[in-house]
Amino acid sequence: MAATQTIDALHGTLKSYLNADQANQVKRAYFFAEQAHYGQRRRSGEPYVTHPLAVAGILADMHMDHQSLMAAMLHDVIEDTGIEKAAIGEQFGPTVAELVDGVSKLTLMEFDTLEEKQAENFQKMALAMARDIRVILVKLADRLHNMRTLGVLSNDKARRIARETLDIYAPIAMRLGMNNVRMEFEDLGFGALYPMRSRRIETAIRAARGNRKELVENMRQQIQETLEQEGHQVQVRGREKHLYSIYQKMKVKHKSFAEIMDIYAFRIIVDSVDTCYRVLGCVHSMYKPVPGSFKDYIAIPKANGYQSLHTVMMGMHGVPIEIQIRTQAMEDMANNGIAAHWLYKSDEHTTNGSHTRARDWVQGLLEMQQQAGNSLEFIDSVKMDLFPDEIYVFTPKGRILELPRRATAVDFAYAVHTDVGNACVACRINRRLAPLSQPLESGQTVEILTSSGARPNPAWLDYAVTAKARSNIHHFLKRQTREDSVSLGRSLLDKALASHGQELDDLSDVKLAEFLAAQHYDSMEDLLIDIARGNRLPAFTAQQLAAPESVEDEALSAHSGEAQPVAIKGTEGFMLSYAKCCHPIPGDPILGYLSSEKGVVVHRDQCKNLREHAERLVALRWDDEVQGDYPVNLRIEVENRRGMIAVIATRINSMGVNIEKISTEHKDHQFTYVTLEMMVQNRVHLARIMRRLRSITHVLKVTRIKN
């Protein structure tokens, strides 16, 4: 497992399984990295490029494809040398550039603030961030080399990296079935975190091994020779548990070191599946099998695709002998998991997408599972890991939230808290302001900006995807609409009552209750909502409510003239809207029309669309404190000259006014009509703008479009 020392040595390995062109491309990536990292050194003093070379070497030992190896060579180039992704893309193609970029992003992820319960989310996040599973494989190899060379780092940093390796990277390796990598992560991580314990166990293992060395070797040879005499091509190996698993067994299962070690373990690698069973028969005739200990994981593979025959026999002095029998392919799959999949498919076209490979791997496991008919749990988790339907994003404090794919900052805000969602006005994604509608991606940090007066926007429903966000927005809008309706209905009715010299508050409860009952209303609010929605005319209702007074009063009210107009403040909300036909602005005389769908629609009083609705009109006026910007349409007649529209637009913008729409229409060879929609505050504001426009040379006429 020694890291490859030189590019020439690596090239030798590559030629054994890649074609000449692919091997040369890897070499070219090496020289690119060497130049990019020129002058940089590792903590150990070696030139920096030895690191990417070693990372590529690790992947070459797993027989990974040439693009993974190129990405390994270049994996620190973006981060450490300032060379851009695009430059890598030009040199080595978009796939390699994507891989390098993916590894860089993973490297940038901060695991510092890691709480233990979050570790699993971090693992999922790392997998979700890598659209190409090879990104993970390169990252694992990178981490493996860093772990192997951890000794030169300061204690604190080494411990932090070791912790992260045990919490994040070892479990990821396990999820992907890469047991060799996982075990090395665990032993190196254990050694860095608990140097004393690890050294003590190591010493104990060495002592135990020394005591039994001869005995084990004799047994190994005896098995090997016996099997060869029977005509089997086999390799018999002694097998030892790795440090960290011994430690875990002692800690979790409270077993003594002696108990764990007091066993002889061998692995027999054979040439075919058939041979596995023949060899099993042979060893069973050499030692007495322990009843019930035989396991056929070839016919019934383990959930992660592991295949092998297991048996336990009784050796001398009653010490058990554990034997595993498997083919080389099974051995590779047990050691390298998903990476072994590249090995066995390396003859095929490497253009085969990485995710297709990953899918194949999962598919393969799935088929074995179905034959075996046991739990699908592992498969489900692997499938979810590789093709997640979720994204994982950070809160500013480092908490991880899981959201469905295509979720936006609005979903995020509601996931944090309903109040945050309701008061949300803007967001920062990775510290930059971003639209609320932008779909989030795994690994991003999202911050929600809130404002106390803010309310949910109906437009959010276009892009909020979570049930929580959507139901909260709906709920708020419904409630808001109701509140708006009630208050609008109240003010309409109050104004109408005023023309009878009365106020709503003056009416006695008894009288109101009688009236509501007679008109079949459950509550006063329902009546007010009906008025606001235009289902009842306020003047008529006021008359009914005021009518049963004395005759004189009635006579008085009949002659009191026009109803008091309702004042419009521009902040009424959902139950008031402005007509698109005549575009009323503050200062214009206005009239309202009660629509059952839209509440009160404000028109200019001369608008001809009002004529059809004479019986549903309501008197309105602008409040002195009216707020907001209102759309208005202008028609400008100009001479046909180059650049006229730009002159007009610049003049308008210079007054701080926004143009919403602009269109032109050729009148004849001499004149053009320019139609503009812009936002103004009121008539005075509009008049000022029109004056400025008229002062432009070659502008003949400026008129407000009346419809």
Site for Mn ion, rule CB under 5 A: 76, 142
DSSP, residue by residue, 246-261? HHHHHHHS---HHHHH
How far is residue 602's CA from residue 619's CA, in Å, rounded to a whole number?
Answer: 10
DSSP letter at 41 equals B
- Cβ closest to Mn ion, residue 76 vs residue 332: 76
Q: Which is nearer to Mn ion, 144 or 699 (CB)?
A: 144
Half-sphere exposure of 562 (CA within 13 A, CB side): 7
- Give min distance, CB of 59 to Mn ion, in A: 13
Taking the least distance from each CB to Mn ion, the nearer of 76 and 98 is 76
Residue whose CB is less far from Mn ion, 7 or 590: 7
Verify whether residue 79 is a known catalytic residue. yes
Nearest to 502 by CA among 561, 551, 543, 559: 543
Give residues with Cβ within 8 angstroms of 47, minimum separation 6.
Answer: 34, 37, 40, 41
Closest CA to 185 of 232, 147, 217, 223: 147
- What is the DSSP pairing of strand 617-622 with strand 566-568? parallel
Q: Report the nearest approach of Mn ion to the CB of residue 663 (Å).
A: 57
Cα 496 to Cα 527: distance, rounded to the nearest angstrom: 14
Q: Cα angle vertex 573, ends 569, 579, to 5°?
A: 75
Task: Give least dist CB 142 to Mn ion, A.
Answer: 4
CB atoms within 10 A of CB 82: 9
Compare residues 56 and 594 and give the one whose CB is closer to Mn ion. Answer: 56
Smallest gap from Cβ 1 to Mn ion, in A, equals: 18
Tokens representing 193 are 């975190």
Closest CB to Mn ion among residues 142, 331: 142
How many angstroms separate the CA atoms of 508 and 486, rounded?
A: 19
Whether the CB-CB separation of 76 and 66 falls below 8 Å is answered with no
Nearer to Mn ion, 40 or 370 (CB): 40
DSSP conformation letters of 321-339: EEEEEEEHHHHHHHHHTHH
Element (H, E) at 630: strand 630-639
Q: Which is nearer to Mn ion, 142 or 184 (CB)?
A: 142
> What's the one-letter identity of residue 417?
H
Taking the complex as a whole, the smallest distance from the CB of residue 75 to Mn ion amounts, in Å, to 6
Helix (H, G, I), strand (E, B) or coil at 275: helix
Name the minimum Å distance from CB 43 to Mn ion: 12
The least CB distance from residue 472 to Mn ion, in Å, is: 44
Cβ nearer to Mn ion, comparing 139 with 685? 139
- How far apart CA 469 and CA 419 sit, in angstroms, is 11
CB of 107 to Mn ion, least distance (A): 7
C-alpha to C-alpha distance for 300 and 293, rounded to whole angstroms: 15
Among residues 80, 360, 530, 629, which one is catalytic? 80
Is 516:524 a contact under the CB 8 Å cutoff? yes
Q: Which is nearer to Mn ion, 142 or 385 (CB)?
A: 142
Structure tokens that stand for 468 in this block? 């929580």
Please provide the distance, in angstroms rounded to a whole number, between the alpha carbons at the two ends of the chain: 83
In terms of C-beta distances under 8 Å and separation of at least 24 residues, what long-range contacts does 271-276 make, across chains too? Answer: 271/233, 271/234, 271/327, 271/328, 272/327, 273/298, 273/327, 275/232, 275/233, 275/234, 275/327, 276/309, 276/325, 276/326, 276/327
Which is it for strands 295-296 and 264-270: parallel, antiparallel or unpaired?
A: unpaired
Tell the smallest beta-carbon distance from residue 60 to Mn ion (Å): 16
Would you give the DSSP letter of residue 230? Answer: T
Of 453, 472, 450, the C-alpha closest to 461 is: 472
Of 341, 494, 468, 339, nearest to 415 (Cα)?
468
The residue number with the shortest CB distance to Mn ion is 142
> Which residue out of 79, 360, 402, 553 is catalytically annotated?
79
Give the nearest distance from C-beta 181 to Mn ion in angstroms: 15
Minimum separation from the CB atom of position 145 to Mn ion (A)? 7
Residue with tokens 């210079």: 654
Contacts of 351 by beta carbon, 8 Å cutoff, 6+ apart: none
- Residue 100, phi then psi, degrees to nearest 5: -60, -45
**CA-to-CA distance for 580 and 631, rounded, in angstroms?**
9
Q: Select 142 or 332, whichever has its Cβ closest to Mn ion.
A: 142
**How far is CA 186 from each of CA 92, 122, 124, 257, 560, rounded to the nearest angstrom?**
35, 18, 19, 18, 92
Cα–Cα distances in angstroms (integers) from residue 111 to residues 64, 78, 125, 385, 394, in the given order = 28, 20, 11, 19, 11
d(CA 436, CA 464): 9
* Smallest gap from residue 402 Cβ to Mn ion (A): 28
Contact 279, 233 (CB under 8 A): no
Rank residues 28 and 42 by Cβ distance to Mn ion and give the closer one.
42
Residues tagged active-site = 79-80
